[in-house]
Amino acid sequence: MKKIIPKHPFVIRWTHWVNFPVLGVMIWSGLLIYWANDIYKISLGDILLFKFFPDPIYKSLNIEHRLSEGMAYHFTFMWLFMLNGLFYIFYTIFSGEWRYLLPNKKSFKEAWQVLLHDLFISRKPLPEKKFNGAQQIAYTAIIIMGIFSVLSGIAIYKPVQWHTVTAMLGGYESARMIHFILTIGYVLFFLVHIMQVIRAGWNNFRAMVTGWEIKRTEAKEIIIAPEPEIISDEIAKEL
């Protein structure tokens, strides 16, 4: 027998799906801004490993010479990003949903098991609950990253008005780098998140849209279900 089990509350689903395009616009417009002074790179000594970003990336995404457009989008969508994020945070606090989302002592051990399972090293089944330890850590970390994106954003948007925030993050240039690294973090999070959603399957994905998931009840119950007995009675009569 199947059962409809409520999983994700309405507010969590909506803030999640609103955040998706909003953060998308923030990252894209951020790239339009970053292009105007694209100084970050990863190098080992004198050897350049990766430049953020190579020209073909800019060209294929049509990023070049669009600074004012990028700023206009960024400083419009920042409001949506912040309001949506604040709404989510307040909701999780006051609804008690934080209990499922915040990591606890066991989360880190569990996250290690999840990692081993996902890399096909361990065959132990994953714990059956709303969010496992790895999810708790990831979904809490992404909120903290969001808070720091807002803070480092303020620090480089209005470094005079909000000089205390700028100073707290190590100055103007340091805040800009933090803002950039967090963005790379979102892209990496997104890639892993998508892979995990695909692996978890339809029932899990559907729950993020509908709010509920289907659980199959124990096989034992099916055996003691009344239907087979009725059929056997009818057959008995005919006989």
Which residues contact other proteins (rule: CB under 8 A)?
1-2, 4, 17, 21, 33-34, 36-37, 39, 67-69, 71-73, 75-76, 79, 158-161, 163, 172-173, 176, 206, 209-212, 214, 227
How far is 28 from 33, CA to CA, in rounded Å? 9
Nearer to other proteins, 3 or 59 (CB): 3
Nearer to other proteins, 67 or 102 (CB): 67
CB of 4 to other proteins, least distance (A): 7
CB of 188 to other proteins, least distance (A): 23
CB of 5 to other proteins, least distance (A): 12
> CB within 8 A of 49, min separation 6: which ones?
41, 42, 43
Residues paired with residue 41 on neighbouring β-strands, in sequence order: 51
Asked if 100 and 59 count as a contact pair (C-beta separation under 8 A), the reply is no
CB of 158 to other proteins, least distance (A): 6
How far is 154 from 179, CA to CA, in rounded Å? 10
Nearer to other proteins, 8 or 132 (CB): 8
CB of 75 to other proteins, least distance (A): 6
How far is 51 from 227, CA to CA, in rounded Å? 67
Nearer to other proteins, 194 or 214 (CB): 214
Nearer to other proteins, 39 or 57 (CB): 39
Tell me if residue 18 falls in helix, strand or coil: helix
> CB within 8 A of 170, min separation 6: which ones?
178
